[in-house]
Amino acid sequence: MAAGSALEQEVDVETPEQVVVSYTIAGIGTRVAAALIDYAICALGAIGIGLAARPFLARRTWTSAWIVAGLILLQFVVLWGYYVLWEALWDGQTPGKRRLGLRVVRDGGYSITFAASAVRNLLRVIDLQPLPTYGVGILSIVLSRAGKRVGDIAAGTMVVSERAVAVAVDAPPGAVTGAASGLVTGSAAAPPTAGQPLAGPAGPPPATALTDDEFHLLDRFIARRSALASDRRAAFAAQLAARFRERVPALTGSDAAVLVQLHAQEQAARARGVAGRSDTGAAREQHAIVARGAPRWREFAALLAQAQRRGLAGLGEREVSDFVSRYRELAGDLARLQTAARGRQVDALFTLSRLVAAGHNLLYRDRRVGWHTVWEYMTIEVPREIRRSALPIALAASLLFGPAAIGYVAVVTHPALAPQLVGTAMVDRAEQGVEWARRGEGYIPDFKERRPLVASFVARNNIQVSIIAFAGGLLVGLGTMAALVFNGIEFGAVLGLYRSKGILSLILAFVAPHGVLEMSAITIAGAGGLLLASAIVLPGATTRREALIARGRRAITLLAGTALLLLVAGALEGLVSPIPWWTLGQKLAVSALTAVLLALYVNMDRGRTIGRDVGAPHAA
């Protein structure tokens, strides 16, 4: 067994079995390499989708428009949802992470949930800054003890290295009684004392003559002696031999020969479980625990590798039961070995800790997300969170509609301000709108068979804006507030511009069908960003980190509701809003209908309970 490198970052986690295990935090180099693999897959996927859409772009048919619209949304899912979907459905791994033996887990060693994955990956917008250097994320990883980027801090996750652990403890055959031993079953059988061998057909091993610290010193010398200059090697050998000869008078020969024989004898004794010289109390069990447990650890390592490849669902009922039983045995071994080691760095302790950590991560995983779970989440959790977040939603609405009212009044009162607030292109569009209104045309040309294409572009753009408003909450709310205020001013100024031209009904007829859902979605996304900001500014009785994790889960639930509303709003904006022959009254009726349906959606979960907490760990 090889202990971990001193350069590795480790995080200790207490399992439900009240055993402390260590996770090795993934290094920056490995994470960058995994990210490059994933970026390459994303790029190839996006390019492939783009090439698939090209033949349909030239065809002005309803069918081809729907196909291209679907491909546009699929490309959006690849670019924004790649990490979220892979990590949520593949238990914390993307293809790049799996290739390099990395896994995302929640604090505490539990498997990642869909919500946690969404938080850590949608906040990648912040980690990527300044584009495209990933400077914020890399700096956060370097400064964090657990190697967390900003998204990990908010989601309560960490990226760990999940290398295969080789158990190679040398124990003579017959020296171990396996599961029947007293150490495994918890009987009162005492461990062997110094000089007292474990019973077995191989016969008694030599007694130990060295303490554990002396043996480690000798072990390091034997391992490194060939790299030392001959004079220094002879000097060290003479010092050690002079120190140890009187304890082993039976050993004869040169200093080097005595040390080699002594090392072999001490190694054999410890492999058979004999306690080190002068060990007292629990420390006397250390080598016996290793000797008796090593065969079971090897068997568990093989079973663990199989379970990691296939998942527990791929094992039979008896295999799962055997896995759980062996895991509990190893957890007990680890607790005893930690006590016996008394804080010393022991190779066996490192390996056993890694085995228990890997087993813990596999056992305490959430059930796979199914369609039923998604339905419950969208129809129960999201409406409930929207109602619960009424205050931040109201605040976000004031930051959006307050500036909108100011922009509207400013442009109606002083039309010359319009170019500064909405740009010259929008002013020119309003000038053309006067002629369109006179001819009975709509705010924009009716694309007819191209409407599905327009709807997909609109939905994709609005969702991206909402994600940015959400992520801006980590900038102490400044990013979120800026997005709401500036969008509000621009929206109000555009309405004011059309009012000043006497064609307000033209733009209202376009905005009405989708406006209720779109503006509601923007305020809800802004509320999610404000929740993140409140965790930083006003964490309450908890720490900022704990508040950020808790409110981040709430915020991502709001963002899920935002995405749903924007998909429907985008469809209305592309399919219904451009119809020129519908009157303003008809389109306002659509607006009223969407308002009623939104109210029903927000209250549809009353009296219902969700089947299980989708964020809670699950033990197999």
pLDDT value at residue 448: 62
Helices 255-271 + 230-244 axis angle, to 10? 60
Rounded-to-integer distance, Cα 490 and Cα 28, Å = 42
pLDDT in tens, 43-91: 999 899 888 888 887 777 778 888 888 888 888 888 888 998 898 888 7
Rounded-to-integer distance, Cα 344 and Cα 346, Å = 6
Identify the weakest region by mean pLDDT among 122-136, 171-185, 499-513, 602-616.
171-185
Average pLDDT, integer, range 399-403: 96
pLDDT value at residue 202: 45
pLDDT value at residue 518: 92
**pLDDT-derived band of residue 571, with 50, 70 and 90 as boundaries?**
confident
Residue type, 251: L
pLDDT in tens, 536-557: 999 988 889 899 999 999 999 9
pLDDT at 2 over 50: no
DSSP single-letter state for residue 25: E
- Per-domain boundaries in the chain: 10-163, 179-356, 372-602
Average pLDDT, the chain: 79
Average pLDDT, integer, range 503-521: 92
CA angle 47, 51, 56 (to 5 degrees): 145
8 A C-beta contact, residue 68 and residue 450 = no
Rounded-to-integer distance, Cα 440 and Cα 453, Å = 24
148 exposed, middle or buried (CB, 10 Å; 0-12, 13-18, 19+)? buried
**pLDDT-derived band of residue 274, with 50, 70 and 90 as boundaries?**
low
CA distances from 367 to 95, 111, 139, 314 (A): 20, 10, 34, 13
Please state, for a pLDDT cut of 70, what percent of the chain lies above it: 81
Average pLDDT, integer, range 438-466: 73
pLDDT value at residue 411: 95
Q: Which residue has the tokens 């670019």?
A: 79
pLDDT value at residue 181: 31
pLDDT value at residue 179: 31
Which residue from 173, 141, 143, 171 is spatially nearest to 159, judged by alpha carbons?
A: 141
pLDDT at 612 over 50: no
Which residue from 307, 328, 313 is spatially nearest to 367, judged by alpha carbons?
A: 313
Rounded-to-integer distance, Cα 503 and Cα 428, Å = 14
pLDDT value at residue 365: 66
Residue type, 237: A
**pLDDT-derived band of residue 531, with 50, 70 and 90 as boundaries?**
very high
pLDDT value at residue 369: 60
pLDDT at 149 over 80: yes
pLDDT value at residue 201: 41
Average pLDDT, integer, range 410-429: 92
pLDDT value at residue 620: 39
**pLDDT-derived band of residue 561, with 50, 70 and 90 as boundaries?**
very high
What count of other Cβ atoms lies within 10 Å of the Cβ of residue 442?
19
180 vs 575, more confident: 575
What tokens does 505 get? 């009904």
pLDDT in tens, 179-204: 323 323 233 333 444 334 444 444 44
What count of other Cβ atoms lies within 10 Å of the Cβ of residue 466?
26
104 exposed, middle or buried (CB, 10 Å; 0-12, 13-18, 19+)? buried
Looking at the DSSP assignment, which residues form a beta bridge with residue 159? 104
Helix (H) or strand (E) holding 356: helix 347-363
What letters, b where the CB count within 10 A reaches 16 and e where it falls short, cover 354-385? Answer: bbbbbbbbbbbbbeeeeeebeebbbebbbbbb
What letters, b where the CB count within 10 A reaches 16 and e where it falls short, cover 40-52? Answer: ebbeebbeebeee
Helix (H) or strand (E) holding 23: strand 20-25
153 vs 91, more confident: 153
9 vs 493, more confident: 493
Identify the weakest region by mean pLDDT among 268-282, 449-463, 465-479.
268-282
pLDDT at 281 over 60: no
pLDDT at 283 over 60: no
pLDDT in tens, 289-347: 777 778 888 888 888 888 877 777 777 788 888 888 888 888 888 887 877 776 665 66
